[in-house]
Amino acid sequence: MKPDSLTLMPNDAMPADTSIALPRDRWHPLEIAFWLLPLASYFLFPGYLVLASQVMIAGLFAMSLDLILGYAGIVSLGHAAFFGLGAYTAGLLSVHGWGEPISGMLAGAAVAAAFGFAVSFLVVRGQDLTRLMVTLGIGLMLYEAANKAAFLTGGVDGLSGMNVGKLFGAFEFDLEGRVAFWYSFGVLFLLFVLMRRVVRSPFGLSLRGILEGGRRMPAIGANVSWRLTCVYTLGAAIAGVAGALLAQVTQFVGLDSLGFPRSAELVIMLVLGGTGRLYGALLGAAIFMVAQNFVANLNPAYWQFWLGLLLVIIVLFARGGVLGGLESLRDRTRGVAASKRSLG
């Protein structure tokens, strides 16, 4: 099974008398170092705080898809539907006088979760191709509905006029992005801890079982459909949080938040970082967002070409994404070291 933490870390063994092999919920030093990086960037790159916030939001969004794709095997090309629902919910509340950030974010999560639960019964019943088409269709229908309801969403012009209140009633969102940075980082870290606990729990192990041998799971009494419904709803809720965060940070919501390109970009992020690894989703989102920003500045006409080339290189030489490639390199290095020791 793929680890849910950094792939360079050793797997933790459980005591011999434990009936279910759950990994210990302790933090490896590499994990701590990973989370110190964005904190360091706050002081080292103060001119890129807005970009850093968007990277963290993209990472949260990518983890929400990894939860249902990398751990449960539910393929989706319409995950942006939940992102957009969260964004429009928080945006509409702000436009109509309710600009408190935390409650607006929770409202976005609730609406996205409710919609995810409702459509999950259509999604989990099929297999890969069916799920792909159903999720794509749901995303396209929601996009067109938002486009037609221009009186509510602003249509192609987007939803503007948002007035987001102070965070915790004390910290006003500033143009430099300082408050947005800490807001995004705090939400990302808390939800990462939640997802980390989920994928390391017996429920998370059952999702692994469904992914690797779903037809055998009912034989041991596991309700596959219900587990897939639960994880799909949770993934939708987290995507809604990401959408609400972006709406509050940028104070604008456009139709692109619901569009297919955003779902496609999300899949690219997972391919870059590696599926079935929460850190892979974060790393893939960071690579994609930073590369998109800097390559677009260097070569605005051909930035998509260079991003495509990067994706092809990673797929060819690191089948499991960047973290998968690092994991393979680690294993080969250990193998060479073990061979040298055996030879004396």
Residue at 202: amino acid letter: P
pLDDT of residue 118: 95
Residue 302, pLDDT > 80, answer no
Extents of the domains making up the chain: 32-300
pTM: 0.86
Summarised one tens digit per residue, pLDDT across range 188-242 is: 999 999 999 999 998 888 888 887 776 666 666 677 888 899 999 999 999 999 9
310 class by beta-carbon count within 10 Å (0-12 exposed, 13-18 middle, 19+ buried): middle
78: closest CA among 16, 140, 18, 36? 140
Residue at 161: amino acid letter: G
Q: Which residues pair with 159 in a beta bridge?
A: 253
Q: For 295, how many CA atoms within 13 A lie in the half-sphere containing its CB?
A: 16
Rounded to an integer, the average pLDDT of 18-43 is 77
Residue 124, pLDDT > 70, answer yes
96 to 159, 164, 190: CA distances (angstroms): 12, 11, 28
Tell which wins on pLDDT, 1 or 178. Answer: 178
Tokens of 11: 């797997």
Residue at 294: amino acid letter: F
Tell which wins on pLDDT, 294 or 327. Answer: 294
CATH class of the domain defined by 32-300: mainly alpha
244: closest CA among 111, 136, 83, 122? 83
Residue 247, pLDDT > 90, answer yes
